[in-house]
A and B are shown apart, each in its own frame.
Chain A
Amino acid sequence: MSYRFLVNGDPVEVEVPGMRRLLDVLREDLALTGTKEGCGEGECGACSVLLDGAVVDACLVPICQVDGTSVRTVESLGTQEQLNDLQAAFLETGGAQCGICTPGMLMAAEAFLATGGPATDDAIREAIAGNLCRCTGYTKIVEAIAQAADRRRTTGFGPA
């Protein structure tokens, strides 16, 4: 079967079985390895991507459900030379350590920031509750997201 959708704004078409995981399509068919696999059963959130703006675990989404949608991955954010404001906040606060949860964490945070709701400690923790991190104790991740929310509010800079 053939499936067409947008990845980070670019149209793509893949010829794969309909039950192939979005995670494998991204990583193996499209060579977008920024999205990580941690558990393969929707528990850790390392494979979080945005599907039409909503956070999903790419390991639980068969590609047939992606047809006609828009997928955003970590590769859509800033570049190494020009990090976006959220990535920069993670770098400055120490929100990334081993980095394996980071792409998924960033996408969950982007979805949260896009809601424009108040970035309280509780709200941030709720927004990333599906993304496990074993390194940071979450303290600096929450701090980074709050910092990015604050900057977006004061500068009027919206999500990329």
Chain B
Amino acid sequence: MTRILPPGTREIGAPDALVVPPGSATPGRIATRGPLRREGPAKLTGLAQYADDLVFPGAWYGATIRSIEPHATLLSLDLDDAFDWGRVVVVTAADIPGDNVVSLIRDDQPILVPVGGEIRHQAEALCLLAAADRETLRAAKRHMRVRTERLPATFDPLESTEEFSHLEVRQGDPGAGFAEAELVIEGTYRVGHQEQLYIENQAMIAVPQPDGGVTVHGSCQCPYYIHRALKRALQLTDTEAIVIQAETGGGFGGKEEYPSMIALHAALLARKLGKPVRMIYDRHEDLSATTKRHPAVIHYRTGVMRDGRLVVQEIDVVMDGGAYCTLTPVVLSRGVLHAGGPYRCPNVRIKGRAMATNTPPNGAFRGFGAPQTEFAAEMQVNRIAEALAMSPLELRRLWAYRDGDTTPTGQVLRESVAAIEVLEAAAKASDYARHSEQTRRAREARLPGARLGSGIGMAMGWHGAGFTGSGEVHIAGTASVELTDAGTVRVLTAQTEMGQGTKTIFPQLVAGELGLEPEAVETAPQDTSIVPDSGPTVASRTTMVVGGLLVNASRRLRAQVEAVTDQPFADSYRDFALEHGSLRIDERFEPYPNVQFDDETYTGDAYPAFGWACAVARVDVDLDTGEVTVRDVVSADDAGRIVHPVLAEGQVEGGTLQAIGYATIEEIKLVDGRYLNDRLATYLIPTALDAPRIEAILVEKPFSGAPHGAKGIGELPMDVGAPAVVAAIHDATGVWIHDLPATPERILAALTGAPTPGSPGVSEPAPERGAT
């Protein structure tokens, strides 16, 4: 059933959400297609200025000397006398005026390991060099000697004794649940690292200022993270540390926290040198040193009744944080909070712990812990359907959350629950029932020695929109809309554009409220000396949270102007500005009504609202080689009111392909704690030929807490693609692949009983050393 909603209407807990066929211009939506990408023409003509395109006369090139041991004591940094060091600037930990920490959650990660200090991973930064040209820099690197004394290293999170964080969520009585259950299904699922692989490598340029401050230009998601890190390490004031985002060529979480490290390095060199320093990573350094998605080992024990009812879930999540804490506790928390899947269950216990290993730190990546646990959750659902001889579609219809259900943290889902809607939309668009009947028949009729198997698979997911728990309250972000004295309207936020469309939808939202064309609204640059701290550009919060602040600010601006002019804003704002000067509205985040979370007990409203998604994938599997071809994927996603359908579809399509890469080919192999495939020739992502046909279906179940009804969409599709593909592989082959990625090696091992490859994400030990 399709319902057409007039603009601005909010349907709370509507039984049927608006389902929008892809590419359609449904009348009555806020936007049929939305305005064209604001910075699109600059990107399409090559004029957009990414960090490495910026020219600073006299700038030197910076480089980082890194550890080559996973765990060691740094004994000394020796400069080879045979080299003329007068042509080079060297920075060590001793040059850091303030705290030697990359300021984030825990103060454990040094900017540079001090001599005598502990090296905790293979790519750890030990000292910095800068030179006027690249040849001198390369020569200097060759003449730098690092002396270390090796310490025992830990690579397996299950063997680690050092914990970053742990938590437990509990509902009902799991013991009683298992006593009641008629069937108990167990499974252990393992996932490895995944690289964000933004196509623009990390890049920062630091420019020293006459006042002793420093201005940093670069590729990043969160200018204020960098601002805070600079102030603390370099002992700068708010106005001395300035961070300006350059055009950013993709982030996906990979440019949430690591840019702080690079900015600190560039700034330390620039201040010592007294000239700008360019710290532009090449792909090899980027892959070797920057954060990845956390590997995880996830164990499920699920009890059901023979009629399919879900009675109890007991879940144990172990994540590998790598050598330093970074954002790990928050990643673990999101993983745990999503581990139950979008299913009502009376008895649940979910335990999570994040452990330290001597591997490079893991960090934010689209989905932020949820893709790991939701892969495992959906594997479990599909295996239970098989054990009960039920259709995976029917089982999900039975289990899926409805309005009024309660999550494991005790959160009552009062509204905006679209689990059933996305499920039905994906099932219908993919013709799931018919295709699964076909693949079943083909499999049963298959003769021994057949070369090809085809399969269809389904997975469902949910994704909490915005920060976890009280996160938004702690951030307390401010976003502003200003009518300038020149009579223009501009948006001031710290929200970065990295391809997802911030610069397009913010003017669109503001213009919509003010009765203007989007082109009439400007966006202030993401420069910490100009825009307020509206929080980081992460957690699918930009449209929902900051977009909501802008809508409210616009309404206030409009009301104030119209109260004076007594005419519609659009007709009177220019005159108002000429007469009265500028008027700026700062809108600070206020908690969503009736949303409360207790950080101590981990109970309450973990998220103000959830997005919902369902993916159906069809695959062909070569039964001789184990090679998987993902033919097509339907992804139905609910993100509340869709502001800009083209951009939203782009998020679903791109996120789906990243999930398919995660499912099939993206894996990092490690030896002695070092990434082995640390080049683009060896770390593979899907090409246009590998990519399936992706059909994005947008389902709209608005969230009343946001003034525009929008929820987040960026991360949602990342949660469901991988388990759908692995379910389809099972449908094609009859074997379950419990570890990601489902490579030909793992599939053949399952088909033939050959030894399985090792656990994804766990390093092989160092090769035996010779007498040297």
A46 CA / B50 CA spacing, docked (Å): 13
A-B CB contact pairs (8 Å), 23 listed: A31-B55, A36-B199, A38-B283, A74-B44, A78-B44, A78-B45, A83-B41, A91-B40, A96-B44, A98-B199, A98-B249, A98-B498, A100-B199, A100-B250, A102-B43, A103-B46, A132-B199, A133-B199, A134-B252, A134-B685, A137-B655, A138-B688, A140-B653
Q: B247 contacts A99, CB within 8 Å?
A: yes
A126 contacts B by Cβ under 8 Å: yes
Q: A87 contacts B44, CB within 8 Å?
A: yes
Q: B50 contacts A36, CB within 8 Å?
A: yes
Q: A80 contacts B45, CB within 8 Å?
A: yes
Q: A135 contacts B250, CB within 8 Å?
A: yes
Q: A38 contacts B40, CB within 8 Å?
A: no
A155 contacts B by Cβ under 8 Å: no
Q: A137 contacts B681, CB within 8 Å?
A: no
Contacts of A40 in B (CB 8 A): 282-283
Q: A33 contacts B46, CB within 8 Å?
A: yes
Residues 103-152 of A at the B interface (beta carbon under 8 Å): 103, 106, 121, 124-126, 128-142
Q: B646 contacts A93, CB within 8 Å?
A: yes
Closest Cβ of chain A to B278, distance in Å, is 12
- Name the residue on B nearest A90 (C-beta): B44
Residues 670-723 of B at the A interface (beta carbon under 8 Å): 679-681, 685, 687-689, 691, 693-694, 696
A64 CA / B174 CA spacing, docked (Å): 72
B540 contacts A by Cβ under 8 Å: no
Closest Cβ of chain B to A52, distance in Å, is 20
Contacts of A36 in B (CB 8 A): 50, 52, 199-200, 249
Q: A96-B44, A100-B249, A125-B689 are in contact. List 17 more A-B contacts (CB 8 A).
A: A31-B55, A34-B45, A36-B249, A41-B283, A74-B46, A77-B44, A94-B650, A97-B499, A97-B654, A98-B200, A99-B39, A99-B48, A100-B198, A126-B689, A134-B199, A138-B653, A138-B657
Q: A35 contacts B46, CB within 8 Å?
A: yes
On chain A, which size bracket covers the interface? 35 or more
Closest Cβ of chain B to A50, distance in Å, is 14
- Name the residue on A nearest B498 (C-beta): A98
Closest Cβ of chain A to B350, distance in Å, is 31
Q: A98 contacts B499, CB within 8 Å?
A: yes
Q: A94 contacts B647, CB within 8 Å?
A: yes
Closest Cβ of chain B to A42, distance in Å, is 8
Residue from A80, A106, A129 within 8 A of B47 (CB atoms): A80
A77 CA / B45 CA spacing, docked (Å): 7
With A40-B282, A134-B252, A135-B650: A142-B688 Cβ-Cβ less than 8 Å = yes
Residues 54-75 of A at the B interface (beta carbon under 8 Å): 73-75
A100 CA / B685 CA spacing, docked (Å): 16
Q: A39 contacts B283, CB within 8 Å?
A: yes
A61 CA / B160 CA spacing, docked (Å): 47
A138 CA / B687 CA spacing, docked (Å): 8
Closest Cβ of chain A to B519, distance in Å, is 14
Closest Cβ of chain A to B23, distance in Å, is 9
A55 CA / B448 CA spacing, docked (Å): 45
A92 contacts B by Cβ under 8 Å: yes
Residue from A37, A97, A130 within 8 A of B650 (CB atoms): A97
A7 contacts B by Cβ under 8 Å: no
Q: A134 contacts B658, CB within 8 Å?
A: yes
- Name the residue on A nearest B249 (C-beta): A100
Closest Cβ of chain B to A141, distance in Å, is 7
- Name the residue on A nearest B287 (C-beta): A39
Contacts of B248 in A (CB 8 A): 98
Q: B680 contacts A41, CB within 8 Å?
A: yes
Residues 730-757 of B at the A interface (beta carbon under 8 Å): none
Closest Cβ of chain B to A124, distance in Å, is 8
B649 contacts A by Cβ under 8 Å: yes
B267 contacts A by Cβ under 8 Å: no
Contacts of B646 in A (CB 8 A): 93-94, 140
Q: A98 contacts B679, CB within 8 Å?
A: no
Closest Cβ of chain B to A12, distance in Å, is 17
A111 CA / B643 CA spacing, docked (Å): 35
Number of interface residues of B (CB under 8 A): 56
A124 CA / B687 CA spacing, docked (Å): 12
Contacts of A43 in B (CB 8 A): 679-681
Q: B649 contacts A94, CB within 8 Å?
A: yes
Contacts of A137 in B (CB 8 A): 653-657, 691, 694
Q: B199 contacts A38, CB within 8 Å?
A: yes
Contacts of A46 in B (CB 8 A): 199
Closest Cβ of chain A to B246, distance in Å, is 11
B42 contacts A by Cβ under 8 Å: yes
A101 contacts B by Cβ under 8 Å: yes
Q: A129 contacts B689, CB within 8 Å?
A: yes
Q: A129 contacts B688, CB within 8 Å?
A: yes
With A36-B249, A38-B201, A44-B680: A134-B654 Cβ-Cβ less than 8 Å = yes
Contacts of A78 in B (CB 8 A): 44-45
Contacts of A41 in B (CB 8 A): 283, 679-681
Q: A134 contacts B250, CB within 8 Å?
A: yes
Contacts of B680 in A (CB 8 A): 38-39, 41, 43-44, 132
B337 contacts A by Cβ under 8 Å: no
Contacts of A154 in B (CB 8 A): none
- Name the residue on B nearest A99 (C-beta): B43
- Name the residue on B nearest A91 (C-beta): B40
With A135-B250, A137-B694: A94-B37 Cβ-Cβ less than 8 Å = yes
Residues 13-51 of B at the A interface (beta carbon under 8 Å): 36-37, 39-50
Contacts of A27 in B (CB 8 A): 53
Contacts of B252 in A (CB 8 A): 134
With A40-B282, A41-B680: A80-B41 Cβ-Cβ less than 8 Å = yes
Q: B198 contacts A98, CB within 8 Å?
A: yes
B582 contacts A by Cβ under 8 Å: no
B216 contacts A by Cβ under 8 Å: no
Q: A131 contacts B250, CB within 8 Å?
A: no
Contacts of B656 in A (CB 8 A): 137
Contacts of A73 in B (CB 8 A): 46
* 3 tightest A-B CB contacts, nearest first: A34-B46, A100-B249, A98-B499
A73 CA / B688 CA spacing, docked (Å): 22
B759 contacts A by Cβ under 8 Å: no
Q: A96 contacts B47, CB within 8 Å?
A: no
With A38-B199, A91-B36, A94-B646: A132-B45 Cβ-Cβ less than 8 Å = no
A78 CA / B492 CA spacing, docked (Å): 31
- Name the residue on A nearest B497 (C-beta): A98
Closest Cβ of chain A to B163, distance in Å, is 33
- Name the residue on A nearest B247 (C-beta): A99
Q: A83 contacts B44, CB within 8 Å?
A: yes
Of A27, A44, A79, A138, chain B has the most CB atoms within 10 Å of the CB of A138
Q: A74 contacts B45, CB within 8 Å?
A: yes
Contacts of B650 in A (CB 8 A): 94, 97, 135-136, 140
